[in-house]
Each structure stands twice: as C-alpha cells, then as structure tokens.
Amino acid sequence: MRKGTILWPTDFSDTASHALSYAIEMANLYQVGIKILHVVPQPVGDENYMILSISPEELAQNMELAAANRMQQLLSELDTNLSVETQIRRGDAATEIIAEANAGDVGMVVLASHGRTGFSHFLHENVAEAVANLAKCPVLVVK
C-alpha cells in the first residue's frame, strides 16, 4: 500500500465528501497522491421513441460536463499539498471503480457506503460492497 495512490470514488454526495477526509489522511500518512474518480452512468434510450429532445450521447456529454464543473469546484476547495489527479468515466460505477482499483497504480480505495439496509439494500446495487469484494488492493469503506 505504501507506494500506490489513494483512489477516492465520488458521486459528489455528502457521504462521499465525508470519505474524502479519510482519503486525505491516508494519503498524508503514506505520502502518496490521491486519484479522484467520478463515474457518469451511461444513459439508455431509443431515439425512435422521441421522448428525449436530445440523444443519449448528448445527455451523457452534458452529464460529463456537469461532473467536470463539480470536480473543478471540489478541487478549488481542496486544501492539500498532495498530488491530485481527477478522472471522469462513463459506465457502471462499480465496474469502473473496480477497473481503476485493479489497474496497478492504486494502493488503496477509500469510498463511502450509503448505508442501505433491508429491502432498500436488496433493490439497489451496493457499489461499496462490490468494490470491497473485487478490488485487489485494500478498501476502506466509510459510513
């Protein structure tokens, strides 16, 4: 762990922001950089239905632009001397986070759990659980 960057996946929620303080603490402890990752879901749609006034591709591009703006705002508020890298990907959140975690240069993943239980846990994909089970590096789940 002492060599790789800290991966902090975010959906820009308050819960994810809470995990950032842990990511910074771990990065300071090991004197490594932080990689911030946001995953934009791939919109699905059929242009034949004419429900959307824009195509799914245009919607995805707009979502990526909004995420880039949020990322810039986040970076401007971040008070650290650590090396910070940002990435915005498109796809399934769990799949993209796991791919990045297993890419080779990540020493630890620090991510938030939204704390769903019971029926809500059953209905919603648990990204934190998937990452903890499939990442090859250590994973710190913050709630």
Query: The domain spanning residue 109 has which CATH number?
Result: 3.40.50.620
Q: Which amino acid, residue 73?
A: Q
Task: Look at strands 34-40 and 5-9 and give their pairing.
Answer: parallel
Cα distances from 136 to residues 95, 99, 110, 131, in angstroms, run 13, 10, 13, 9
pLDDT in tens, 69-111: 898 888 888 777 889 999 999 999 999 999 999 998 999 999 9
CA proximity to 9, closest of 103, 123, 108, 120: 108
pLDDT over threshold 90, residue 19: yes
Domain span including residue 29: 5-142
Range of weakest confidence among 23-32, 39-48, 133-142 = 39-48
pLDDT over threshold 80, residue 55: no
- CA-based angle 8:11:15, to the nearest 5? 80
- Between CA 12 and CA 71 the distance in angstroms is 8
User: Considering its fold, how many domains does the chain have in total?
Assistant: 1
CB within 8 A of 121, min separation 6: which ones?
none
Q: Given this model, what pLDDT does residue 121 score? A: 40
In which band, very low, low, confident or very high, does the pLDDT at 118 lie, cut at 50, 70 and 90?
very low
Count Cβ atoms below 10 Å from residue 136 Cβ, excluding itself.
11
pLDDT over threshold 60, residue 117: no
Mean per-residue pLDDT for 4-8? Answer: 94
pLDDT over threshold 90, residue 53: no
Range of weakest confidence among 3-17, 42-56, 63-77 = 42-56
Q: Given this model, what pLDDT does residue 62 score? A: 85
Please compute Rg for the chain using Cα positions: 16
Which two tokens mark 9?
Answer: 């996946």
